[in-house]
Structure 1
Amino acid sequence: MIFEIALVFASIGCAQASWIDGAWLGKRQATATSASSTATPAYFQTVPELLAGPTPTGDAPFLPEYNPAPFPSVSYIPPQPLETQVPISGNTANNNIFQLFGQLSHYFANPTGFGANEYRLPAGANISAVYTLHRHGSRYPTTGSGAPTTGAKIINATGTFNATGSLAFLNTWKYQLGAEILVPIGKQELFDSGVSHYYNYGHLYPNNGSKIIVRSTTQDRMTQSAEYFLAGFFGLTWTQNATLELIIEQNGFNNSLAGYYDCPNNNNATLAYGNLALTQWSNIYLANATSRINSMISGKLNFTVSDVYNMQSLCAYETVALGYSPFCGLFTYDEWQGYEYSVDINFYGNNMFGGPSSRGTGIGWVLETVARIQHKFVSSAQGPLNYTLDSMASTFPTNQALNFDFTHDTNIAAILTAFGLTQFAPFLPATAIQNNRSLIVSHMEPFGARLDIEIIQAPKPVSASRNGTAATDYASGNATTYVHFLLNQRTIPLGASWSQCGNRTDGWCEMGAFLNTMSTKFTESQFQYACFGSYPNVTYSASGVTNGVPQVPQKK
């Protein structure tokens, strides 16, 4: 395979003059080597295929058009890959702890939904475009994070302690994790997602032989996630169908797929209120676990609450990397529920409505998507955007029906906040689990998470209160266009956050109402002030930051 790499670096002023735009565009195009120009024996040759037999393909599927599922008001879960099994104390209902790992959960579709009923596409309606924002797949832990830190502490103390009971495995335990790149199941998550997206949106691929532009970042796991997804969507010859655009993910380069680099205050530890909440909550829910685990060990090793918390993270990372982790069985079901909640409050205070720069961090992708929906380039007067790329049709196509972007969990969380999806805004206290909360990171940001924004063309207005039968699908009137948000295969009811969309049972929003709502989102993000301004710290509380912007307004 021959790779064509195009390098593009440009310096164009943005909201902060000292920051620059930049892009590294990897335009990967496979060139088939003919049999006559290579010394490869015919029996080793795979491209071009020899004696392949009949190869006609069928039409691209359009599953939403004829799929009778999902049914109104009925829960459903698509088939899941196999998971390891661990006996968990207190798990009387035989619930699945592997879906309580927050952002470290192996991908699963949201099992409970976000409050909207799920409906098939009405007869005669069509999905005309999709804008997908996709998280990378399961990976090894971040360099220098809690899991490898506690892992190193254990390894460095090996031979100086003796562990007993359910902790006895620690006497011979080895740290076997890498750092940051995809693990095998993470590659499968993205491949499977590509297949799933083809069944739903394959009909949108242009039949004129042109390629689509797909965007990701230069991080290894980001590049590979995009490639495995495209292999699932198009097959191993995906380079004939798509050009992969890789945007630099580094400090100093504007990139809506890594918005935290465009927003310095998002990296200010003193403004990371979610970290404070996590510490407060972990000291509560892991108090018994810390005492219990330390009682099973003697010698020169003692675990802090932070270490014990990291053991829960090690359970999650070892499960996706190795298939099994002995750390998982150290904790009760209540403690696993506590872990899930710890992730929720951490995301709330760092990356969502409890974080003062959350809207500013996510607003770039919101602006890009609204522009693409309107078949426009982004205005150069707004936002933390890479104007070098966003002003060129070759890198920012505005008439593309299939749009796939790849990003990170915290960036998706900030984007949901920048959209103003306030159903996830209610404050989460750091003192007790809120069982009826709407913000559950396991359901929103597992590995391989995906936000699909569908544009639906209907021949008439779709009834706001339909019951799933064809007779109730339509009201009288003219052709109408709708916006439909799906997060991990479940509908986000847009009317729950945006009053202009109305109280629809299907959660859709009429296009005009959607665009009117979006017209204020950049102003609401307070981008310049939230990301570059100086404002006082506040405590993590219901009277603190709860709208994704600084509590103290910018001085006029």
Structure 2
Amino acid sequence: MSSTSLLAAGLALISSVSALRSYPQFGEKQFSQSFLDGYNLLKFTSSLGPYSNRVSYGIDRNTPAGCEVDQVFLLMRHGERYPDYSGFGQNYEAVLAKMAASNVTSWKGDLTFLNDWTYYVEDPGMYSQESYSGAYAGLADAYARGTDYRLRYGHLWDKKSIVPIFAAGYSRVVETARYFGQGFLGYNYSTNAAVNIISESSTGGANSLTPTCAADSNYLPCLLGSFSKTMPELEVAAARFNAQNPGLNLTAIDVTHLMQMAAFELNVRSYTPWAEAFTLDEWVSYGYIWDLMYYNCVGPGSEYQIAVGQVYTNATRVLMQQGPKSGSMFWSFVHDTNITPVVAALGLDVPDKPLPNDTIHFPYQYRASDIVPMGGHLTIERMTCNATAKSVEGVYVRAVINEAVVPFNTCQGGPGFSCPLANYSAIVDAAPRFNERCNTSSTYPQYLDFFWNYNTTTQYNYLAGPIGYQQTYTDA
């Protein structure tokens, strides 16, 4: 063999060895065999704990090849926050006072940490407000979502037009909208954003992000009844704490309040010792109590609430039919109980049969933590797509819940398991009509029109003055 041939062979060998070294070494796994999301506590703090991405079906979140998103609709819950005083904070203060008044002088067992722990609401004025510090801070969550969506949907903005942002008229919701806008628009926020604050009054009728169903007489009783529900595992937790600390007399209801309090603590402090005071089985049971509440009271278990969701789905469907000429980006901000009706109206996350009240439904078919954690959001994409081997050229719709693509059960033949717009429209039409089912007063608006008739002023882009003491509803 000539010297030239030897040199060529040597270079080829070196090249092949280098190529091999670019791959994992022998024995290393290309894919992990452990999937531990099922043990992540954030999946059991329901709607009260920090945001977590939805457990996905493995469908690519990125826009399918040959498609382009030309309209996007975001319906997002406010970010991580402090508890409200009414219904939450007052219960936490009451159970903590009950524990302090017991004969326990030094905490033992699972509650040993209480010898040093202090309640995280340091000032009662913080009740109801968005959290601003810690790894799970709500304002940071909103800002980060804005920056992420600028990267994902920035092509929809021409860098000069006004971008409307719609927020239900509640202090923390408006602040979430503002921080999202700052994240999305960056230096242009002060001049190119137009925050529109939509009143939460029931007199808004259908022209609202938070419609009220007058005919749903079970709405409040359902919610209030859910807060007094327990599971056997929570009785076990109460008995364990009482046995470890003689003189303590906690009940299962007390335990639910403590678990709620723990979820909120993560929103503020990034760490809660209460998380480890309860077993995983107890957290699973606690999470299911909330699943039942959302399913029965503001989800697919209530035909009235499905009608409530139809307000948003119908308005955005009309915008999709009109196409980008009517606007390309619609950023809306609301509460958790305004998102679950919309998801139900789209036929998503609807169990095969009603959830049982006496046992936990395994496998999960309706999970509040996958739909409305703090910062939870539904994103609907209108896509214009080229023809593929499985679909024709046309306009398609995809639903994304907490950054996981969620296909429609009856329509998924398009790119990325999307649905043709015409078929999507049929899904929207299948939901009961809001005005008819909810007996909307004829003196109230009968349809949503602020997506077409919005203000373009920067007047509400920033808070005018300090937030009022325990302020909730706001007009500025």
Asked whether the two chains share a fold, i.e. TM above 0.5, the reply is: yes
- Report the Cα offset of residue 359 of structure 1: 1.2
SS of 2:347's equivalent in the other structure is: coil
Q: Give the Cα–Cα distance (whole angstroms) in 1 for the partners of residues 140 and 301 of structure 2.
A: 33
Structure 2 residue 218 is matched with structure 1 residue 308: no
The change in CA–CA distance for 1:364 and 1:121 in structure 2 (over 3 A counts) is: closer
What pairs with 1:200-349 in structure 2 (closer than 5 Å)?
200-207=152-159, 209-254=160-205, 256-259=208-211, 261-263=212-214, 265=216, 268-270=219-221, 272=222, 276=225, 279-280=228-229, 282-299=230-247, 302-349=249-296
The change in CA–CA distance for 1:531 and 1:428 in structure 2 (over 3 A counts) is: farther
Structure 2 residue 77 is matched with structure 1 residue 135: yes
- Report the Cα offset of residue 356 of structure 1: 4.1
The change in CA–CA distance for 1:480 and 1:410 in structure 2 (over 3 A counts) is: same
How many residue pairs align between the two structures? 398
- Report the Cα offset of residue 121 of structure 1: 3.4
Aligned to 1:102: 46
Q: Normalized against structure 2, the TM-score is what? A: 0.76
Which of these residues, 514, 517, 530, is aligned with residue 424 of structure 2?
514
Which of these residues, 331, 337, 342, is aligned with residue 415 of structure 1?
342
Does the 8 Å CA contact 2:349/2:365 hold for their aligned counterparts? Answer: no
Does the 8 Å CA contact 1:357/1:531 hold for their aligned counterparts? Answer: no
Aligned to 1:448: 375
- Report the Cα offset of residue 512 of structure 1: 1.5
The change in CA–CA distance for 1:402 and 1:502 in structure 2 (over 3 A counts) is: closer
CA offsets 1:126-153 (integer angstroms, 9 cap, x no match): 1111011111100111222245413233
Aligned to 1:181: 129
Aligned to 1:540: none
SS of 2:398's equivalent in the other structure is: strand
Q: Give the Cα–Cα distance (whole angstroms) in 2 for the partners of residues 488 and 511 of structure 1.
A: 22
Q: Normalized against structure 1, the TM-score is what? A: 0.65
- Report the Cα offset of residue 456 of structure 1: 0.7
Structure 2 residue 406 is matched with structure 1 residue 492: yes
> Runs of 4 or more off by more than 6 Å in structure 1?
none
Farther off after superposition, 187-196 or 348-357:
348-357
Which of these residues, 368, 372, 375, is aligned with residue 322 of structure 2?
375
- Report the Cα offset of residue 122 of structure 1: 4.2
| Amino acid in the other structure paired with 1:284 | P
Does the 8 Å CA contact 1:158/1:171 hold for their aligned counterparts? Answer: no
Aligned to 2:306: 359
What pairs with 1:7-26 in structure 2 (closer than 5 Å)?
none
What pairs with 1:67-78 in structure 2 (closer than 5 Å)?
none
CA offsets 1:17-52 (integer angstroms, 9 cap, x no match): xxxxxxxxxxxxxxxxxxxxxxxxxxxxxxxxxxxx
Does the 8 Å CA contact 2:308/2:434 hold for their aligned counterparts? Answer: no
- Report the Cα offset of residue 372 of structure 1: 1.7
| Amino acid in the other structure paired with 2:241 | I
CA offsets 1:252-274 (integer angstroms, 9 cap, x no match): 44453222x3546267433x1x7
SS of 2:382's equivalent in the other structure is: strand
Which structure has the highest helix share of the two? Answer: 2
Identity among equivalent pairs (%): 24
What are structure 2's unaligned runs of at least 5 residues? 1-29, 442-476
Does the 8 Å CA contact 2:166/2:195 hold for their aligned counterparts? Answer: yes
CA offsets 1:419-449 (integer angstroms, 9 cap, x no match): 2336446322122222322211111111111
Q: Higher relative contact order by CA 8 Å / sep ≥ 6: 1 or 2? A: 2
Q: Give the Cα–Cα distance (whole angstroms) in 2 for the partners of residues 96 and 362 of structure 1.
A: 30
Q: Give the Cα–Cα distance (whole angstroms) in 2 for the partners of residues 330 and 157 of structure 1.
A: 15
What are structure 1's unaligned runs of at least 5 residues? 1-73, 77-91, 377-396, 465-474, 534-556
Structure 2 residue 362 is matched with structure 1 residue 435: yes
Does the 8 Å CA contact 1:353/1:425 hold for their aligned counterparts? Answer: no
The change in CA–CA distance for 1:504 and 1:344 in structure 2 (over 3 A counts) is: farther
SS of 1:256's equivalent in the other structure is: coil
